[in-house]
Amino acid sequence: MTILTTHVGSLPRPKIVSELLFKREKEEEYNLQYFEEVISKSVEEVVKKQLDVGVDIISDGEMSKISYATYVKDRYNGFAGDSERNPPQDLEKFPNYMKKIADSGGTPTYSRPCCVAEISSKKNNDLTNDIKNILSASKKFNHNKIFMNAASPGVISLFLSNSYYSNRNEYLDAIASAMQDEYETIVNSGIKLQLDCPDLALSRHMTFKTESDKDFVKIAYENMEILNQSLENIPSQMLRLHVCWGNYEGPHIHDISIEQIFDVLMSFKGNYLLFESSNPRHQHEWEIFEKLKNKIPENKILIPGVLDTTSNFVEHSSLVRQRIEKFVNIVGKDRVIAGTDCGFGTFAGFGNVDPDIAYLKLQSLVEGASRVK
């Protein structure tokens, strides 16, 4: 059997898509029909690009979203104003470097409202259009291995702070209740659902900098429990989870080890786990999976990141193969899919990796996976 390939979800957006997304973001005048036509065409193009390089399990590239988490403000009522910005702890320690990347345009600037009222659906067509676009494109190219991203309650609370609900858990419950319909709608359309959950790692060195690792793990468990409850009606084989420590180039010296959140990740209801294992800070953590392999449930399929999404180095296919084989030797070839550390278009208009190079990297992913014995 050949190792299947996939990625985390977001891909570089065409310039016109980013321009339109920022018009909507800034509440400037734009033509809705034209916007929807551009997004539909862009989804078709991004699907073709993925298939042209040979990726097996594909997405819509999150073309319609300003970012992987804050898009929810466009779909749900209850958000206004602005949330406090909490830079990662590792960047705070190196203010000159933090200023350098900000001055170079390397820090995305986008709306991050806070929750100021009860959360409820705006009942617009955003999700319906996303589903229609990916299904239409997949039908055109006769390819049915598709997934769609959605933000977890935890990551929404990470970027859109709470100024309405009485405590953090009440806020998470309200988000989960609102998002449950989105999750189920995606899956009921025949599309695998990927929950993006950087809150299980990234938030350790952003929101919860002053907490101990032990206390943070308790918080991560609470987030996972609420997430699993919102997925109660969805079969495990339709669920993917992505965890990461922040898709930015930096020291990452305050990243919590995957060993400390290992049990949290393994408690996810779904079958598929996507995680970083290529960048210099987390590349060694395949050893943790080897050490704790007896704690990996038999239904879990590992999707290690074998491409670094913060670097324009194109990984050699032999290196990709070597990285995949480390996990194959732990759980077997039938329980590994080759993936990426994070997305190539986490925020509209921003990305460390040049768009053309991103697809070269994905091509190397496919070539490396095909060579696994």
Q: 89-121 burial string, b = 16+ CB within 10 Å, else e?
A: bbbeeeeeebeebeeeeebeebbbbbbeeebee
- Give the per-residue pLDDT at 104: 66
- Mean pLDDT over each residue of the chain, to the nearest integer: 96
Per-residue pLDDT for 107 more than 70? Answer: no
Sign, Cα dihedral of 143, 3, 279, 206 = positive
Q: How confident is the model at residue 106 (pLDDT cuts 50, 70, 90)?
A: low
pLDDT > 70: percent of the chain: 98
Alpha helices by DSSP H, the chain: 15-25, 32-53, 89-92, 95-103, 126-140, 153-159, 168-188, 213-230, 262-266, 286-291, 317-331, 355-370
Percent of residues, the chain, with pLDDT higher than 90 = 92
Whether the pLDDT of residue 108 is over 80: the answer is no
Q: Per residue in 50-65, pLDDT tens?
A: 999 999 999 999 999 9
CA distance 170 to 189: 30
pLDDT > 60? residue 174:
yes
Separation CA 148–CA 193 (nearest Å): 5
Q: What angle do CA 169, 175, 177 make, to 5 degrees?
A: 100
Interatomic CA distance for residues 115 and 112, integer angstroms:
10
Q: Quick one: average pLDDT of 306-321?
A: 98
Q: What is the pLDDT of residue 105?
A: 59
The answer to whether the beta carbons of residues 257 and 300 sit under 8 Å apart is no
What is the model's pLDDT at position 217?
98
What confidence tier does 218 reach under pLDDT thresholds 50, 70, 90? Answer: very high
Supply the DSSP string of 131-160, one letter for each residue: HHHHHHHHHHTT---BEEEEE-HHHHHHHS
Structure tokens at 14: 């065409």
Neighbours of 180 (CB within 10 A): 17
Greatest alpha-carbon pair distance for the chain in Å reads 56
Average pLDDT over residues 73-92: 91
- pLDDT (average), residues 229-252: 97
Contact 273, 200 (CB under 8 A): no
- Would you state the pLDDT for residue 365? 98
Q: Are 53 and 366 in contact (CB under 8 A)?
A: yes
Q: CA geometry: angle at 346 spanning 334 and 90, to 5°?
A: 95
CB-CB contact of 195 with 150 (8 Å): yes
Confidence band of 368 (pLDDT split at 50, 70, 90): very high
User: What is residue 173's predicted lDDT score, i.e. its pLDDT?
Assistant: 98
Instruction: Name which of 90-104, 119-133, 278-292, 327-341 the model is least confident about.
Output: 90-104
The domains found in the chain, sorted by start residue, are: 15-370 (3.20.20.210)
pLDDT grade for 313, boundaries at 50, 70 and 90: very high
- Which pLDDT score is estimated for 209? 95
Report how far Cα 115 is from the mean position of its chain's Cα atoms.
22
Output helix, strand, coil percentages for the chain, rounded to the nearest 5.
45, 15, 40
